[in-house]
Structure 1
Amino acid sequence: YYQEEFAIRRTLISCLDWCDILRIWDVDALL
């Protein structure tokens, strides 16, 4: 149970990281 929850949490964190990266790229593109 704990491993499954940890995997889900890791996936969410990686998704947030990608959102930050895409946001940075969007800002660079606008500039």
Structure 2
Amino acid sequence: MADRLGAQAQEIDDREKQIISEKETIEGNF
């Protein structure tokens, strides 16, 4: 159970980092 939650948290963290980097890329273009 804990492993499943850890994997889910890691997935969310990766997604957040991806969104942040996409935002920075968009802002960098302006």
Unaligned 5+ segments in structure 2 are 1-6
TM superposition score normalised by structure 2: 0.76
TM superposition score normalised by structure 1: 0.74
Match of 1:11 in 2: 17
Aligned length: 24
How many percent identity over aligned positions? 12
Match of 1:21 in 2: 27
Q: Please provide the CA RMSD for this pair.
A: 0.3
